Amino acid sequence: MIPTGKVFLISGVTDMRKSIDGLSLIVAETLEMDPFSESWFIFCNRTRDKLKILFWDTNGFWLYYRRLEKGTFKWPRPSEDGAIHITKQQLGWLSG
């Protein structure tokens, strides 16, 4: 699936036990962004080997999960904004 809206990396670490409700709450309350927008929100775990991508599509949320068998993702440290806008090309780099 290709994003139709903006793509955001959520800086810092996220507890990967969180699912759709917990991640959308982070987007709404911590980042003060709209989880029902067409934006994609990408979260990473502490060991940087797992990603979750949350986005809204028409009448429901999608939640993608990726786990690396080897290596780690280069992930930004926590920032004041909490979310870093990236391009669709940069998203492609994450997906390999």
pLDDT tens digits for range 5-19: 899 999 999 999 999
Domain that holds residue 34: 7-95
Domains identified in the chain, total number: 1
Q: For residue 87, how many other CB atoms are within 10 A of its CB? A: 10
Under DSSP, is residue 41 helix (H, G, I), strand (E, B) or coil? strand
Q: Assess if residue 62 is contained within a domain.
A: yes
Q: Assess if residue 1 is contained within a domain.
A: no
Q: Assess if residue 2 is contained within a domain.
A: no
Sign of the Cα torsion 33, 43, 18, 1 reads positive
At 72-92, the pLDDT tens digits run 998 888 777 789 998 888 888
Under DSSP, is residue 6 helix (H, G, I), strand (E, B) or coil? coil
Q: For residue 14, how many other CB atoms are within 10 A of its CB? A: 20
Q: Assess if residue 59 is contained within a domain.
A: yes
* Helix residue ranges per DSSP H, the chain: 20-25, 88-95
